[in-house]
Amino acid sequence: MRHIVKSLLIVLGIVATIFLGRHFLTPDSWGKYGHYRADYIDEEANRSINYGENDSCLKCHSEVVDMLKHGEHKTLSCEVCHSPLSEHIADGKKIGSMKVPTGNEIDKTCLNCHQKNVAGRPHKFPMIDKNEHYKMLEIRADHNCNQCHTVHYPKENINKAKSLSRNLREAVDNEAK
Partner 1 sequence: MDIAEFLFPNDTHPHWTLMIVIYPYITGLVAGAFIVSSTYHVFKVEALKPVARFSLIFAFAFFAFATAPLLTHLGHPERALNMLFTPNFSGPSMMAGFGYIYLTYGLLLIFEILFVYRIPMIEMLENKNTPKWRVLIYKILTLGSRDKSPDSYHMDHKVAVFLGGLGIPLASMLHGYVGFIFGGVKAVSWWFTPLMPVIFLLSASVSGIAGIILLYVLIKKWTKTHLDMMTVRALVKLLWTFLIFDFVLEMLEIGVHAYGGTEHWHHIHELLSGPLFYTFWIGQVLILTAIPFVVLGFLTLLKFSDRVVLTLGMISSLMLVFQVLFMRWNVVVGGQILAKSERGFLEYHPLWFEKEGILTTIIILSAPFIFLWILGKIFPLWNDDDNYEIKHQNDHFDNKIHIKHEKNDLIDTKSIN
Binding site for partner 1 (CB under 8 A): 1-4, 6-7, 10-11, 14, 18, 21-22, 25-26, 30-31, 35, 118-121
**What is the spatial distance between Cα 106 and Cα 111, in angstroms, rounded to a whole number?**
9
Compare residues 3 and 177 and give the one whose CB is closer to partner 1.
Answer: 3
Closest CB 18 distance from partner 1, rounded Å? 8
Compare residues 60 and 118 and give the one whose CB is closer to partner 1.
Answer: 118
Closest CB 39 distance from partner 1, rounded Å? 14
Closest CB 109 distance from partner 1, rounded Å? 19
Compare residues 49 and 119 and give the one whose CB is closer to partner 1.
Answer: 119
Compare residues 4 and 141 and give the one whose CB is closer to partner 1.
Answer: 4
Closest CB 7 distance from partner 1, rounded Å? 6
